[in-house]
Amino acid sequence: MDIKKAFRNAFNRKKEKGWDKIYVIVDIHDTILHACYENEETFDYLPNAKEALQKLSQREDICLILWTSCHKQQIENYMTNFANDGIFFNYANENPEVEDTSISNFSDKLYFNVGIDDKFGFDGDSDWINVIEALEEVF
């Protein structure tokens, strides 16, 4: 996965369309944190994940969306713990900021510009540094 290219393309499209921001969805297990399927999460971040997510959180031109299959109570716990680490997700599993259009229905599939998920080919062990570099390149 070329995450730098994904961010570059998203920011180019933002500029072309005159958008205020882009939308980035991020999975948790094996993407942000080492997978832990126990009852108690260890919050063992993958290399550079915490720093990259803090940088993403600080940008007003990025809407950060948690993308997970966790239950609601678990999501609330993750959101609280991430916030304590300076990582702020605007939403979880939804993007209410983008409305349906005449050709697009976002009620069943949320709109996003960049997807960060091990199932999308993102390598949590090595790709977070590329996210940091991509953010430095665009501004």
Reported pTM: 0.93
**How does pLDDT run across 10-69, given as a tens digit for each residue?**
999 999 999 999 999 999 999 999 887 666 767 899 999 999 999 999 999 999 999 998
The CATH code of the domain that includes 41 is 3.40.50.1000
Domain presence at residue 9: no
Domain presence at residue 61: yes
Q: How many independent structural domains does the chain possess?
A: 1
Domain that holds residue 86: 21-138
Domain presence at residue 15: no
Whole-angstrom Cα distance, residue 3 to residue 1? 6
**How does pLDDT run across 84-94, given as a tens digit for each residue?**
999 999 999 99
Domain presence at residue 8: no
Domain presence at residue 80: yes
Domain presence at residue 65: yes
Domain presence at residue 11: no
Give the residue from 29, 97, 40 showing the smallest Cα distance to 64: 97
Domain presence at residue 47: yes
End-to-end CA distance of the chain: 22
**How does pLDDT run across 102-123, given as a tens digit for each residue?**
788 887 789 999 999 999 999 9
